[in-house]
């Protein structure tokens, strides 16, 4: 990562660093943010993490997670931090609209120097320094490369290792996706050498189910799973009423789209979730089937070739029917 020393120099010169990431936080956005936060502190500087919305409960055990401020809960604080910052990091997203329309204008108008570290396609010109490595499995891996290539691997500690591993583990499906490189495993070894208890990360993310969460997931897989005839495509859709019936909290349906993709013969999976008058969509695929273009063309979204997201403002039924209608064009 050739810009690593330039980025570290910018950190050392900054009076106020703010770390941002995309809306609907996941393991990589949380992990990369906390890894950078702990690294900045190890450099002897201060930083504030400002995200658009709250992290799901199964990620709040992370060291430093209590220092993440969200626009959803503290709008005035977050706006003030962005306006008064002189260095803003944009992690795990490629354009300002990924932080949500309410925060987008604040970010775009902020006068601070902006640095993007990301692994998604088509980075915008939002930032003056851009590290965009689409072949890398996660933004968390890029944070490790920042630490390593800037000559600061001696600062690697257990909190940084924990955060980097979380981001890599969750964005690679526990090291099973094609994006995993030999370098990814080399990094995992270095993290363990730094004191990481990798089994505890997995337990904290995947083995802390509530009864409501398991019952919701069982219901959804039993009653809301559909296979599109003549296509290797699985759909899961869930209404707001169904979510509330099982006392849904953020994160309860995380990963269900991958369960649908695991069905024998299925190459594409789509998960549709209705809430507050909008439908959020997660797309996953494998092999020759790519979903990012479809997400961009029809659902105001995008992402990776095999993992993308989108949104629609029609009803759940209309959104699912729209997806079905465009399937023949793409698959």
**What confidence tens digit (pLDDT) does each residue in 173-213 have?**
999 888 999 999 999 999 999 999 999 999 999 898 999 99
| Angle in degrees, CA 22, 283, 160, rounded to 5 | 40
Q: How far is CA 13 from CA 17, 86, 127, 241, in A?
A: 10, 10, 18, 51
Nearest to 271 by CA among 134, 279, 204, 263: 279
CA distance 280 to 275: 8
Tens-binned pLDDT, residue by residue, of the chain (331 aa) = 779 999 999 999 999 999 999 998 999 999 999 999 999 999 999 999 999 999 988 888 999 999 999 999 999 999 999 999 999 999 999 999 999 988 999 999 999 999 999 999 889 999 999 999 999 999 999 999 999 999 999 999 999 999 999 999 999 999 988 899 999 999 999 999 999 999 999 999 989 899 999 999 999 999 999 999 999 999 999 999 999 999 999 889 999 999 999 999 999 999 999 988 899 999 999 999 999 999 999 999 888 889 999 999 999 999 999 999 999 999 9
Contact call for residues 166 and 140 (beta carbons, < 8 A): yes
Query: How many distinct helices (H) and strands (E) make up the chain?
Result: 13, 12
Contact call for residues 57 and 252 (beta carbons, < 8 A): no
| Distant-in-sequence, close-in-space partners of 269: CB < 8 Å, separation ≥ 6 | 233, 234, 235, 236, 257, 258, 260, 261, 283, 284, 285
Length of the chain: 331
pLDDT for 95 equals 93
Nearest to 172 by CA among 138, 197, 207: 138
pLDDT for 85 equals 98
Domain spans, the chain: 4-206, 211-330
Q: Which helix (H) or strand (E) holds 329?
A: helix 316-330
Phi and psi at residue 77, to the nearest 5°: -65, -50
The residues that bridge with 310 in the sheet, in sequence order, are 281
| Distant-in-sequence, close-in-space partners of 20: CB < 8 Å, separation ≥ 6 | 49, 50, 51, 82, 88, 89, 90, 91, 99, 107
The residues that bridge with 20 in the sheet, in sequence order, are 90
Question: Topology of domain 4-206, per CATH?
Answer: inorganic pyrophosphatase (n-terminal core) (3.90.1640)
Phi and psi at residue 101, to the nearest 5°: -65, -30
CA distance 310 to 294: 9
- Residue 294 tokens read as 């479809």
Contact call for residues 152 and 43 (beta carbons, < 8 A): yes
**What confidence tens digit (pLDDT) does each residue in 251-265 have?**
899 999 999 999 999
| CATH architecture of the domain formed by 211-330 | Roll (3.10)
pLDDT for 302 equals 86
């Amino acid at each position: 990562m050739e810009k690593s020393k330039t980025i570290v120099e910018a950190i050392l010169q900054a009076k106020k660093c703010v770390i941002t990431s995309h809306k609907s936080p996941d393991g990589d956005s949380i992990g990369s943010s906390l890894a950078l936060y702990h690294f900045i502190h190890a450099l002897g500087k201060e930083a504030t993490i400002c995200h658009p919305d709250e992290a799901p409960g199964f990620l709040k055990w992370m060291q430093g997670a209590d220092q993440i401020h969200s626009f959803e809960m503290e709008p005035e604080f977050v706006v003030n931090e962005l306006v008064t910052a002189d260095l803003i990091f944009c992690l795990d997203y490629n354009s300002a609209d990924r932080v949500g329309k309410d925060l987008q204008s604040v970010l775009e108008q902020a006068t601070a120097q902006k640095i993007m570290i990301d692994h998604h396609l088509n980075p915008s010109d939002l930032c003056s320094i851009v590290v965009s490595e689409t072949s890398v499995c996660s933004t968390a891996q890029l944070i490790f490369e920042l630490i390593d290539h800037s000559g600061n691997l001696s600062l690697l500690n257990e909190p940084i290792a924990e955060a980097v591993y979380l981001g890599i583990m969750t964005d690679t499906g526990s090291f099973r996706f094609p994006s995993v490189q030999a370098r990814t495993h080399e990094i995992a070894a270095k993290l363990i050498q730094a004191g990481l208890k990798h089994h505890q990360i997995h337990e904290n993310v995947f083995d802390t189910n509530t009864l409501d969460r398991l019952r919701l997931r069982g219901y959804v897989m039993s009653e809301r799973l559909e296979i599109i005839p003549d296509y290797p495509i699985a759909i899961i859709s869930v209404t707001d009423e169904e979510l509330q019936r099982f006392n849904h909290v953020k994160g309860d349906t995380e990963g269900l789209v991958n369960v649908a993709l695991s069905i024998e013969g299925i190459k594409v999976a789509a998960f549709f979730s209705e809430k507050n008058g909008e439908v959020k969509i997660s797309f996953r695929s494998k092999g020759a089937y790519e979903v990012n273009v479809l997400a961009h063309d029809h659902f105001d979204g995008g992402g990776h070739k095999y993992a993308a997201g989108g949104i629609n403002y029609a009803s759940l039924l209309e959104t699912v029917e729209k997806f079905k209608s465009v399937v023949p064009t793409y698959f």
